[in-house]
Structure 1
Amino acid sequence: MTRILIADDHDVVRDGLRALIETRGDWTVVAEARNGQEALELATATQPDVVILDYAMPIMNGVEVARQLRARRLRAEVLIFTMHDDDALIRDALQAGVRGCLLKADARSHLFEAIETLARHKPYISGKVSGALLDAALDGRSRAASPLTPRERTIVQLIGEGRTNKEIGPILRISIKTVETHRASALRKLGARNTADLIRYAIRNRMIEV
């Protein structure tokens, strides 16, 4: 029996994925999460075989959740589920230890293949993500690459969601001083002057939903 966790902040998406998955008698959905923090906690508690993570979730995006799952040495394979096939996202996901990426537009026709492949501990990349894009993600040659590190991107996302440094620290399990260091680095790299500039960056780069 393949045990699956679904994490997406939209009820209709989770319901649709569950409906598809439950047509398979040898698969079961062990938990559903509405945000990244909940996904991390539930994955730790239920120990699924495959975790389906929406990229653009509140609190922690799918890539940060995947990074923390790896840090906790959970055996689950991660499938990033996203609307966007941009190279920066894929590169960050691969660097975080993600072995699967599926576009939401491909879900109906490719979800089963993706889960089956990951359950065998083999990598799966959605058919619409081109080989050239994957190559760029793997070797860092992407022209559209973000100047931020994955951790800086996560902190910018949380700032965009209105989180304070004091709130971000416990979420990412880092000190407030470390949050401040990453925030200052993000400001410098982006040429931003203040929090408002970081929020605008997060919106432009689809890191938060408005």
Structure 2
Amino acid sequence: MTPLRLVVVDDHPVVRDGLRGMLGTQPDLVVVGEAASGTEALTVVAATRPDVVLTDLRMPEPSGGTLIRLLMDRVPTIRVLVLTTHDTDSDVLPAIEAGAIGYLLKDTPREELFRAVRAAARGQTVLAPSVAALLLTRIRPHRPLTEVRLSAREREVLALVAEGKTNRETAARLYISEATVKTHLLHIYAKLEVPDRASAVAAAYRRGVLDG
């Protein structure tokens, strides 16, 4: 099995060293680069083309949602997984809306971090419990809630996506084909006016479409 390639972005050397050492204990994970600032991260990611970028939010510019957008613009195939100490709405929402596949806090147990990195690489949404709770209570619809109407099946699909299920797992759980799952997701994206799975989950929590 080819190891997943990771880049670690954090302005604290001790944190980077700790993450490199921790991730290095897993045979299927390899840290191919690290960066101490947003500018350095863009250079390192462009050079190494990792599968997953594990990044803090608050550091020398560009940072936060701006950095995430730029990273994905430079290497559209990567998954950006936020690992930070901050879980306020001013940090969480811009990161998710910018395209982060997941959002974890630095007190995440190491085994959960390993699972999250692997899940992110597979395109699964990963959210810390406090972040999911914040999204539940942060309902700021762009239009009246009554205008966002998902079918019962679309809600079932979206609920499984929020749990981190893949299209294949969702299809198996609901006894439908993967193609049907993809079709439901396209309809969900259109109704919620979002581009991807992570944004759909965030928007659904904000608009009260998912109860948690």
Normalised TM-score (structure 1): 0.62
Partner-residue secondary structure (3-state), 1:101: strand
Amino acid at match of 1:126: A
Q: Do the aligned partners of 1:101 and 1:125 also contact (CA within 8 Å) in 2? A: yes
Q: Do the aligned partners of 2:81 and 2:104 also contact (CA within 8 Å) in 1? A: yes
Residue 91 of structure 1: how far off its partner (Å): 0.7
- Measured against aligned partners, the alpha-carbon deviations of 1:18-55 in whole angstroms (never above 9, x if no partner) come to 11100001111000101011001111111000001111
**Distance of 2:111 and 2:70 partners within structure 1:** 29
**Distance of 2:23 and 2:65 partners within structure 1:** 22
> How has the CA–CA distance of structure 1 residues 74 and 25 changed in structure 2, closer, same or farther, with 3 Å as cutoff?
same
The unaligned stretches of length 5 or more in structure 1 are 142-210
**Distance of 1:52 and 1:5 partners within structure 2:** 6
Alpha-carbon RMSD: 1.7
Q: Do the aligned partners of 1:91 and 1:140 also contact (CA within 8 Å) in 2? A: no
Name the counterpart of 1:196.
Answer: none
Amino acid at match of 1:2: L
Name the counterpart of 2:83.
Answer: 81
Amino acid at match of 2:76: L
1:134 aligns with 2:135: yes
The unaligned stretches of length 5 or more in structure 2 are 142-212
Amino acid at match of 2:21: A
Q: In the alignment, which of 12, 15, 18 is matched to residue 13 of structure 1?
A: 15
- Measured against aligned partners, the alpha-carbon deviations of 1:158-189 in whole angstroms (never above 9, x if no partner) come to xxxxxxxxxxxxxxxxxxxxxxxxxxxxxxxx
Amino acid at match of 1:48: P
Name the counterpart of 1:68.
Answer: 70
Partner-residue secondary structure (3-state), 2:53: strand
**Distance of 1:58 and 1:73 partners within structure 2:** 21
Q: Do the aligned partners of 1:53 and 1:62 also contact (CA within 8 Å) in 2? A: no
Query: Share of identical aligned residues, percent?
Result: 40
Q: Do the aligned partners of 1:99 and 1:124 also contact (CA within 8 Å) in 2? A: yes
1:94 aligns with 2:96: yes
**Range with bigger deviation, 18-27 or 72-81:** 72-81
Name the counterpart of 2:115.
Answer: 113
Name the counterpart of 2:5.
Answer: 3
Q: Do the aligned partners of 1:87 and 1:136 also contact (CA within 8 Å) in 2? A: no
Partner-residue secondary structure (3-state), 2:70: helix
Q: Do the aligned partners of 1:5 and 1:30 also contact (CA within 8 Å) in 2? A: yes
Q: Do the aligned partners of 1:33 and 1:42 also contact (CA within 8 Å) in 2? A: yes
**Distance of 1:103 and 1:117 partners within structure 2:** 16
**Distance of 1:73 and 1:109 partners within structure 2:** 27
